[in-house]
Amino acid sequence: MEKVLEVQDLTVKIGEKNIISSINLTAYKGRVLGIIGESGSGKTMLCHAIMQSLPASAQITQGQIIYQQENLLNVSATKLRTYRGRHLSMIMQNPSIAFDRIQTIESHFRESLKAHFVMTKNEMRQIALDAMDKVNLPNPQQLLHYYPFQLSGGMLQRMMIALSLAIQASVYIADEPTTALDTVNQKQVLTLFHRIRSETEAAIILVTHDIGVIAELADDVAVMYQGEIIEHTNVYDFFDAPQHPYTKKLLQSRILF
């Protein structure tokens, strides 16, 4: 297993309060790392810390984020910009807010591609069409001219994944990608992540509060509770031999249904 991204001893503070306390994580090539925890456990903050897009009030006080043998916390702003988006791609929870509502889908693709590559409009369009085709969006040619509000939530979420695919990121950070979707769309998006894992060999960090999502997709699981990772194991061990009392409670909440 090849390491792609490593988080070492990461601590994030807002004021004096620890939001995340010394977290260690590793994402491997072609594997899905599932991060599970209840609301308020610091899952989203962790994603933003890795992307270095924390709100101004939050500060990273210690730790390292290692990608391609470099500590992302120490690289220059220019270099960070090339990593962010080109190598590390984030897929947000709420697709209807993440898009710019006065730009068409095509200009979203153009904007992202222009930031990282030099290419002509036709090339960009071709890449956009291919990416949309990969995520099973119907009529890509027509969708290019649509505005975000003309698409449904499930389609927008797939569009967001298509944007990441177009850039061929090597780490996908998906923050509750299916929470805003209904179950049928959720299944489609999870299938998509499975295909990304097997076809592009990217590392996927999947943040969720749904054990079903973990059971369906994850290879490794990290359980987050009050800003700490209390358990970090293989997915089978997570289900068969949970160690921490909180993990056990989490698993019991599933058996009910």
* Residues at the contact surface with other proteins, assessed by CB under 8 A: 38-40, 152-154, 179, 181-187, 190-191, 194, 209-213, 215-218, 235-236, 239, 249-250, 253-257
- Which CB, 13 or 209, lies closer to other proteins? 209
- Burial group, residue 74, by CB count within 10 angstroms (0-12, 13-18, 19+): exposed
- Which CB, 171 or 217, lies closer to other proteins? 217
- Which CB, 173 or 250, lies closer to other proteins? 250
Report the nearest approach of other proteins to the CB of residue 90 (Å).
21
- Which CB, 162 or 207, lies closer to other proteins? 207
The H or E element containing residue 77 is helix 77-86
Contacts by 196-199, CB closer than 8 A, 24 or more apart: 196/161, 196/165, 196/172, 197/30, 197/31, 197/32, 198/30
The count of C-alpha atoms lying within 13 angstroms of the C-alpha of 87, restricted to the half-sphere facing its C-beta, is 15
Find the angle CA(171)-CA(174)-CA(180) to the nearest 5 degrees: 160
Find out whether 85 and 115 touch, Cβ atoms under 8 Å.
yes
Report the nearest approach of other proteins to the CB of residue 237 (Å).
10
- Which CB, 63 or 154, lies closer to other proteins? 154
Report the nearest approach of other proteins to the CB of residue 214 (Å).
8
- Which CB, 98 or 251, lies closer to other proteins? 251
Report the nearest approach of other proteins to the CB of residue 172 (Å).
16
- Tokens standing for residue 108: 């979203």
- Tokens standing for residue 82: 């090339």
Report the nearest approach of other proteins to the CB of residue 188 (Å).
9
Report the nearest approach of other proteins to the CB of residue 256 (Å).
5
Find the angle CA(161)-CA(3)-CA(48) to the nearest 5 degrees: 50
